[in-house]
C-alpha cells in the first residue's frame, strides 16, 4: 500500500510553479526591470544599461555579460541609440545595424533569449521588447579533429556551435535541396538540434522517424551528442553503435549525399549520422581520395582487422589448449618452449595482457599528449618485455595481443573499434572453455545479433543480409568513381542515380 502511495506521489505532485513566466510585460520600464532582476536573482553576469535618448524616452538594454559579442553591443547597439537617435522610431527604422531582431511580449521568451546570449531592449511606454541577436561567446577555432584524422582529406573539423557547423556543411553542398529542420531537446537545456538531409535523396519515412524519436526524447539536458544518440537509437542494450558520430564536415556531406541524415547538436562538435550499416563503419573519407586499388586494399585490411581483433586471441587460446594438432610442427615447438615457463593457463595469460593493453590505452588518453606517448612506449616495452622476462606471459602471447591491438586500431570508426575490442573478451572466455567450438558459438551469436539489428528501421547488416550486390562496389572494394553511378541501396535513397550521371 505504501508502495502504491509512493508511486502515486511521484506521478501526482508535479510542482508547477511558473505562473508569471507567461506573464506579459508591462508598459512601465522600472516595473519590467524589477521583474527581470527577480527572475535573474543571483546572476551577477546580468548587465542592465539604462539611459535616455534625445526625446527623453527611458531605454534599457539587458544582456548576460560574456554571452554576447561586446563589440557588437558597443558599436552597433549602444552607440547609434545613445548618440544618433532622435526618436524611438529612428532606432527601429534604420539605426540598428544588427542582422536579426525580433519583438517579444512575454517573459518566457525574454528569459530564454537572455540565456541564449541575445540582448533585450526595453523601451519605456512599450508593452513589447526588442530581442537583438548579439550572441557571441568564447569559441575555439576550426581545426582538424584529433580522433578522425585523414591524410588527403580536408583539415577542417566541426566546432561547438551548430550554426558554424551548418555553414561548414553548406560550403560542401551549396544546394537548395539541403534541408534543415530545427528541433529542441532537453527540459532544462533546450538544446537546439538541427536535422540536415537532402530532400530529394533521403527517404521521407526515415527523416520522419528520426524526427519523431528526437521529439520523444526526454532528458534534463543534452551535454553531448552521444547522449542524444543513446536516446534515439534502436537497440540501446547492444554493444554495437547504430549511428555514426563524426567531426568531419566532408565526411558528413558525403553521407548526406548518400541519403543519410545528419543530426547537429548545438554545443557538441560531433554530428550524428543515421541510418548506418555495419559495413559503412569501415569506410573512410580517404578511401575516395586514394587510387581505387589502394583504397580497396585498405578496405581489405580493415575487414581482416575485424576478424583478427575479434577472434585472434581466442583462436590462439583454443589452439594451444585444445587443438595443438593444427599448429605447424616447427611453430609448435617454439610456442611450447615459450609457454613452458608460464605458470598460468592461456586464458589468464591472455586476459592479463589484454587488460594491460586496455589500461595503457585508457591511461594514454587521460594523460597530456606529450606524456601520453611516453606512457605508450614505456608501458608497451616494460610490460611486454618484463612480463616475458619474469615468466608471467609468453613471447607468443605478447605478439598475439600486440597484433590484436594494432588491428583494432585500423578500424577507422572509434565507436565501432571500441565495440569490436569489447566483443573479443566473451569470445576468449568461450574459447578457453570449449575451444574452437566456443569461438564458433561466440561468432555465431554476434552475427545473429548483428543481423537482427536495425538502424532507424534500416537493416544493420545490409548489404550483406539482405544481400544487395550492387552495394558491394563500395563495401569490400572501392570501385573507380566513374563506375559508382548509383547511391547505396542500403540507405533506401529516393533518388538512386548520382546527379553527375543523370544526363548520360
**How far is residue 310 CA from its own chain's centroid?**
24
320 contacts other proteins (rule: CB under 8 A):
yes
157 contacts other proteins (rule: CB under 8 A):
no
Where do we find the cell 546527379?
Answer: 499
Name the grid cell of 276.
548506418
Closer of 182 and 323 to other proteins (Cβ)? 323
Name the grid cell of 474.
563500395
CB of 316 to other proteins, least distance (A): 11
337 contacts other proteins (rule: CB under 8 A):
yes
322-329 long-range Cβ contacts below 8 angstroms, 24+ apart: 322/435, 322/436, 323/435, 323/436
Cβ distance 299 to 206 under 8 Å?
no
Q: What element of type H or E holds 194? A: strand 191-198
Residues in the interface with other proteins (CB under 8 A) total 28
Whole-angstrom distance, CA of residue 452 vs CA of residue 320: 33
335 contacts other proteins (rule: CB under 8 A):
yes
239 contacts other proteins (rule: CB under 8 A):
no
437 contacts other proteins (rule: CB under 8 A):
yes
Q: What element of type H or E holds 273? A: strand 271-274
269 contacts other proteins (rule: CB under 8 A):
no
332 contacts other proteins (rule: CB under 8 A):
yes
334 contacts other proteins (rule: CB under 8 A):
yes
375 contacts other proteins (rule: CB under 8 A):
no
Whole-angstrom distance, CA of residue 409 vs CA of residue 230: 23
CB of 276 to other proteins, least distance (A): 24
397 contacts other proteins (rule: CB under 8 A):
no
The contact mask relative to other proteins for 401-430 (x = CB under 8 A, - = no) is -----------------------------x
Q: What are phi and psi of 444, to 5 degrees?
A: -65, -45
**Residue ranges in 440-459 that form contacts with other proteins under rule CB under 8 A:** 441
Cβ distance 426 to 442 under 8 Å?
yes
Give residues with Cβ within 8 angstroms of 75, minimum separation 6: none
Closer of 339 and 361 to other proteins (Cβ)? 339
Using the rule CB under 8 A, give the single segment among 20-28, 117-125, 178-186, 335-343 that binds other proteins.
Answer: 335-343
Closer of 445 and 484 to other proteins (Cβ)? 445
Closer of 371 and 386 to other proteins (Cβ)? 386
Per CB under 8 A, the list member of 127, 221, 333, 377 interacting with other proteins is: 333
Closer of 29 and 320 to other proteins (Cβ)? 320
Cβ distance 159 to 139 under 8 Å?
yes
Closer of 61 and 397 to other proteins (Cβ)? 397
Whole-angstrom distance, CA of residue 441 vs CA of residue 111: 58
Where do we find the cell 508511486?
Answer: 7
Closer of 72 and 353 to other proteins (Cβ)? 353
Cβ distance 259 to 179 under 8 Å?
no
313 contacts other proteins (rule: CB under 8 A):
no
221 contacts other proteins (rule: CB under 8 A):
no
- Enumerate the β-bridge partners of residue 193: 183, 265
CB of 489 to other proteins, least distance (A): 32
3-state secondary structure 413-460: CHHHHHHHHHHHHHHHHHHHHHCHHHHHHHHHHHHHHHHHCEECCEEC
Binding site for other proteins (CB under 8 A): 320-322, 324-325, 327, 329-330, 332-342, 345-346, 430, 433-435, 437-438, 441
Amino acid at each position: 500500500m505504501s508502495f502504491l502511495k509512493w508511486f502515486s506521489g511521484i506521478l501526482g505532485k508535479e510542482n508547477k510553479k511558473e505562473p508569471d513566466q507567461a506573464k506579459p510585460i508591462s508598459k512601465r520600464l522600472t516595473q519590467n526591470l524589477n521583474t527581470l532582476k527577480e527572475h535573474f536573482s543571483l546572476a551577477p553576469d546580468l548587465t542592465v544599461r539604462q539611459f535616455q535618448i534625445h526625446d527623453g524616452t527611458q531605454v534599457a538594454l539587458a544582456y548576460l555579460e560574456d554571452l554576447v559579442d561586446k563589440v557588437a553591443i558597443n558599436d552597433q547597439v549602444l552607440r547609434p541609440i545613445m548618440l544618433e537617435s532622435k526618436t524611438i522610431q529612428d532606432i527601429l527604422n534604420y539605426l540598428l545595424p544588427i542582422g536579426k531582431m525580433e519583438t517579444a511580449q512575454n517573459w518566457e521568451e525574454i528569459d530564454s533569449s537572455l540565456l541564449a546570449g541575445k540582448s533585450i531592449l526595453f523601451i519605456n511606454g512599450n508593452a513589447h521588447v526588442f530581442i537583438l541577436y548579439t550572441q557571441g561567446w568564447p569559441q575555439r577555432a576550426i581545426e582538424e579533429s584529433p580522433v578522425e584524422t585523414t591524410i588527403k582529406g580536408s583539415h577542417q573539423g566541426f566546432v561547438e556551435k551548430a550554426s558554424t557547423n551548418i555553414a561548414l556543411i553548406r560550403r560542401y553542398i551549396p544546394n537548395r535541396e539541403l534541408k534543415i529542420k530545427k528541433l529542441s531537446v532537453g527540459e532544462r537545456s533546450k538544446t537546439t538540434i538541427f536535422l540536415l538531409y537532402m530532400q530529394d535523396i533521403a527517404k521521407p519515412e526515415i527523416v520522419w522517424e528520426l524526427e519523431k524519436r528526437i521529439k520523444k526524447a526526454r532528458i534534463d539536458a543534452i551535454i553531448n551528442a552521444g547522449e542524444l544518440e543513446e536516446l534515439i537509437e534502436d537497440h540501446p542494450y547492444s554493444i554495437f553503435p547504430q549511428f555514426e558520430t563524426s567531426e568531419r564536415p566532408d565526411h558528413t556531406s558525403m553521407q548526406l549525399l548518400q541519403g543519410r541524415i545528419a543530426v547537429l547538436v548545438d554545443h557538441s562538435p560531433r554530428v550524428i549520422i543515421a541510418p548506418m550499416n555495419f559495413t559503412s563503419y569501415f569506410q573512410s573519407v580517404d578511401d575516395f581520395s586514394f587510387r581505387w586499388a589502394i583504397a580497396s586494399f585498405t578496405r581489405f585490411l580493415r575487414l581482416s582487422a575485424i576478424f583478427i581483433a575479434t577472434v585472434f586471441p581466442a583462436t590462439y587460446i583454443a589452439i594451444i589448449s585444445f587443438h595443438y594438432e593444427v599448429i605447424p610442427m616447427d611453430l609448435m615447438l617454439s610456442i611450447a618452449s615459450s609457454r613452458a615457463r608460464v605458470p598460468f593457463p592461456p586464458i589468464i595469460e591472455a586476459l592479463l595482457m589484454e587488460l594491460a593493453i586496455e589500461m595503457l590505452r585508457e591511461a594514454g588518453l587521460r594523460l597530456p599528449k606529450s606524456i601520453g606517448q611516453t606512457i605508450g612506449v614505456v608501458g608497451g616495452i616494460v610490460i611486454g618485455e618484463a612480463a616475458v622476462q619474469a615468466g608471467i606471459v609468453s613471447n607468443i602471447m605478447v605478439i598475439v595481443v600486440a597484433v590484436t591491438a594494432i588491428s583494432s586500431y585500423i578500424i577507422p570508426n572509434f565507436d565501432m573499434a571500441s565495440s569490436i575490442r569489447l566483443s573479443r573478451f566473451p569470445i576468449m572466455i568461450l574459447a578457453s572453455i570449449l575451444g574452437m567450438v566456443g569461438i564458433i558459438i561466440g561468432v555465431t551469436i554476434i552475427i545473429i545479433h548483428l543481423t537482427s539489428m536495425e538502424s532507424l528501421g534500416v537493416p544493420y547488416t545490409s548489404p550483406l543480409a539482405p544481400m544487395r550486390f550492387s552495394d558491394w562496389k563500395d563495401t569490400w572494394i572501392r570501385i573507380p568513381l566513374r563506375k559508382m553511378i548509383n547511391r547505396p541501396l542500403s540507405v533506401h535513397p529516393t533518388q538512386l542515380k548520382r546527379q553527375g550521371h543523370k544526363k548520360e
